[in-house]
């Protein structure tokens, strides 16, 4: 009998029905002297007792500024220790944190601040060569709802960080306790803006229950405990950093280590060694950067045990090297989307490397998933392609102030439609085979980029490959791809095309192949196919090594 593509996660252990603030208080009470946050580039170390105290101090300072439950507080900064502390302080007293991508520029930041109606903006003065302070000044007259701007690491004055912290003395701890007691697990605590690849970003409204439980169950899959330490180079503005990282650690009394403001392979390698990290988080390209670094062999990474890899498909060779050379025998692959807090599927610590690279794992506890026919919404049989939908505690409250978009994404029965094309195996594990909107229609034939990419990754000399559509006068769309050679390999387009012949259908063989040294990516390291297409159409491609 044909089995339908629908699966439910375990119902035990039960969901956490507490706030982020309560979770921190419990961990600080039970493990007061355990390391909580170590920021190597700032020279700062906090235990859970100290973290809880710092969160209270920032919460008092926020109340002194007039913060009220439901106010939006935006954070625009690369990673730093004060980022999660401020996040937890805002959540403790009922504020909603708006996470702003540190790669955004003035107009993008202004849109997020305006759309969310943020009263408070906390930002780094600058990052690399870009001045956040100047950007804020340039758009602030157009942001009437923005009442307070504070710059991390600065001194006195209206925007001074030290000035902000000094105001904590005006508020007693009883005020924090009163505000905290009015916050429930179902209250919103985050607005996380999606990438906006097809238009303006949309803000996914997430609750304490959403984020805290998701981080908790991600940590459970990695068998986290008070003895674990996570090397965390992924950004806090994204769920990968604040949810899978900071909140997974918080709910297991584990520690997070910040190697730097942004990803740097040497800083990560040094952090793993100096802090004895047991876990590492990153997208595949981060793992590749560590493994391919000329001095990789100089570092003893034997303390590593587990970690998370997500955001993009992982080549089998990269996974094998992570397990063998980085000692990550229990590494887990994660899959999700901002709108589901974010993780809905994750591999198990004992899964094989083949399972880790060919699937995104199995369903998380307290969630349901199904694969449906996009044309009629019917659940397809296991082994057939369709759209992956998820339902359960992790689904967002909705897009901020966008009821129509919310209704299109979350149906009347509570299913979040991912837009991802997927196949559910007989064992319930799921393979992601592409995006519905990314499907290439070449002369009436459907081509799924992920399928072609997986084949290309089996070819000698191919390190990474990304497939996308470009316009074609004859067929409507043609298959294009960018390929990055494996370390030390030299390849050309004709060799790749020849290797494809007789192995995959002719209509799937890329008509345009470009050999490159890098890919356009988001601040969190997620490769952007739409930018490759845009760059091809404008012929604005950096660091070419070849095209055919």
The secondary structure of the chain in percent helix, strand, coil, rounded to multiples of 5, reads 35, 25, 40
Look up residue 2 and give its DSSP letter.
P
Q: What angle do CA 311, 268, 192 make, to 5 degrees?
A: 40
* β-strand pairing of 385-392 with 416-424: antiparallel
pLDDT of the chain, 548 residues: tens digit per residue: 689 999 999 999 999 999 999 999 999 999 999 999 999 999 999 999 999 999 999 999 999 999 999 999 999 999 999 999 999 999 999 999 999 989 888 988 999 999 999 999 999 999 999 999 999 999 999 999 999 999 999 998 889 999 999 999 999 999 999 999 999 999 999 999 986 444 578 999 999 999 999 999 999 999 999 999 999 999 999 999 999 999 999 999 999 999 999 999 999 999 999 999 999 999 888 999 999 999 999 999 999 999 999 987 788 889 999 999 999 999 999 999 999 999 999 999 999 999 999 999 999 999 999 999 998 999 999 999 999 999 999 999 999 999 999 999 999 999 999 999 999 999 999 999 877 878 787 877 778 888 888 889 989 999 999 999 998 877 778 999 999 999 889 999 999 999 999 888 788 899 999 999 999 987 667 788 888 988 888 877 655 444 44
The pLDDT assigned to 103 comes to 85
pTM: predicted TM-score of the whole model, two decimal places: 0.86
Q: Which of 392, 288, 388, 397 is nearest to 6 (CA)?
A: 388
Concatenate the DSSP letters of all residues of 427-473 into one string.
TS-EEEEEEGGG-EEETTEEE-HHHHHHHHTTSTTEEEEEEEEEEET
Q: Which of 83, 99, 41, 97 is nearest to 261 (CA)?
A: 41
Helices (H), 3-47: 20-30
Distance CA 182, CA 346 (A): 34
- Map out the domains of the chain with their CATH numbers: 20-420 (3.40.50.12780), 443-547 (3.30.300.30)
Distance CA 77, CA 45 (A): 20
The pLDDT assigned to 507 comes to 83
CB burial class (10 A; 0-12, 13-18, 19+) of residue 492?
middle
CB of 135 within 8 A of CB of 106?
A: yes
**117 in helix, strand or coil?**
coil
Distance CA 383, CA 448 (A): 15
HSE, side-chain direction, 13 A CA sphere, residue 200: 16
Distance CA 55, CA 469 (A): 48
Q: What angle do CA 164, 77, 50 make, to 5 degrees?
A: 55
The pLDDT assigned to 435 comes to 79
The pLDDT assigned to 8 comes to 98
The pLDDT assigned to 502 comes to 84
Backbone angles phi, psi at 245, to 5 degrees: -95, -75
CB of 498 within 8 A of CB of 532?
A: no
Distance CA 545, CA 531 (A): 18
The pLDDT assigned to 523 comes to 67
Q: What is the dihedral of CA 494, 495, 500, 502, to 10 degrees?
A: 100
């Amino acid at each position: 009998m044909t089995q339908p593509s629908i699966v439910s996660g375990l119902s035990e252990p039960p969901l956490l029905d507490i706030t982020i603030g309560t979770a921190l208080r419990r961990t600080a009470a039970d493990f007061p002297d355990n390391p909580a946050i170590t920021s190597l580039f700032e020279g700062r170390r906090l235990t859970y007792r100290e973290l809880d105290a710092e969160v209270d101090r920032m919460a008092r300072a926020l109340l002194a500024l007039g913060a009220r439950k439901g106010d939006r507080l935006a954070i625009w900064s690369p990673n730093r220790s004060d980022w999660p502390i401020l996040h937890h302080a805002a959540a403790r007293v009922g504020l909603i944190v708006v996470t702003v991508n540190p790669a955004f520029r003035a107009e993008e930041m202004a849109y997020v601040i305006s759309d969310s109606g943020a009263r408070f903006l906390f930002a780094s003065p600058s990052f690399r060569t870009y001045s956040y302070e100047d950007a804020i000044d340039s758009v602030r007259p157009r942001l009437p709802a923005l009442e307070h701007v504070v710059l991390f690491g600065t001194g006195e004055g209206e925007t001074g960080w030290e000035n902000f912290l000094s105001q904590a003395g005006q508020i007693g701890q009883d005020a924090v306790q009163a505000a905290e007691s009015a916050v429930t697990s179902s209250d919103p605590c985050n607005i996380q803006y999606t990438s906006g690849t097809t238009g303006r970003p949309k803000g996914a409204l997430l609750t304490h229950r959403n984020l805290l439980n998701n981080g908790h169950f991600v940590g459970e899959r990695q068998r986290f405990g008070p003895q674990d330490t996570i090397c965390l180079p992924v950004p806090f503005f994204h769920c990968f950093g604040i949810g899978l990282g900071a909140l997974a650690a918080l709910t297991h009394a584990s520690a997070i280590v910040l190697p730097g403001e942004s990803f740097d392979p040497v800083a990560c390698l040094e952090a793993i060694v100096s802090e004895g990290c047991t876990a590492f988080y990153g997208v595949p390209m981060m793992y590749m950067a560590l493994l391919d670094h000329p001095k990789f062999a100089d570092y003893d990474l034997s303390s590593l045990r587990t970690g998370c890899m997500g955001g993009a498909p992982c080549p089998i060779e990269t996974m094998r090297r992570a397990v063998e050379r980085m000692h990550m025998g229990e590494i887990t692959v994660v899959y999700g989307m901002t709108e589901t807090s974010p993780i809905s599927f994750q591999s198990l610590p004992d899964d094989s490397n083949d399972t880790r690279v060919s699937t995104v794992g199995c369903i998380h506890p307290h969630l349901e998933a199904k694969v449906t026919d996009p044309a009629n919404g019917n659940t397809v049989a296991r082994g057939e392609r369709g759209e992956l939908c998820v339902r359960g505690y992790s689904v967002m409250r909705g897009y901020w102030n966008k009821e129509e978009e919310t209704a299109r994404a979350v149906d009347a029965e509570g299913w979040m439609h991912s837009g991802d094309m997927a196949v559910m195996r007989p064992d319930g594990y799921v393979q992601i085979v592409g995006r519905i909107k990314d499907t290439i229609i070449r002369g009436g034939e459907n081509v799924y980029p992920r399928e072609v990419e997986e084949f290309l990754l089996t070819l000698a000399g191919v390190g990474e490959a990304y497939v996308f559509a470009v316009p074609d006068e004859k067929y409507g769309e043609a298959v294009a791809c960018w390929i990055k050679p494996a370390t030390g390999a030299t390849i050309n387009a004709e060799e790749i095309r020849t290797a494809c012949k007789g192995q995959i259908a002719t209509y799937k063989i890329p008509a345009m192949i470009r050999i490159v040294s890098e890919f356009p990516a988001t601040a969190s390291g997620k490769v952007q196919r739409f930018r490759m297409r845009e760059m091809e159409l404008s012929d604005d491609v950096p660091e070419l090594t070849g095209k055919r």
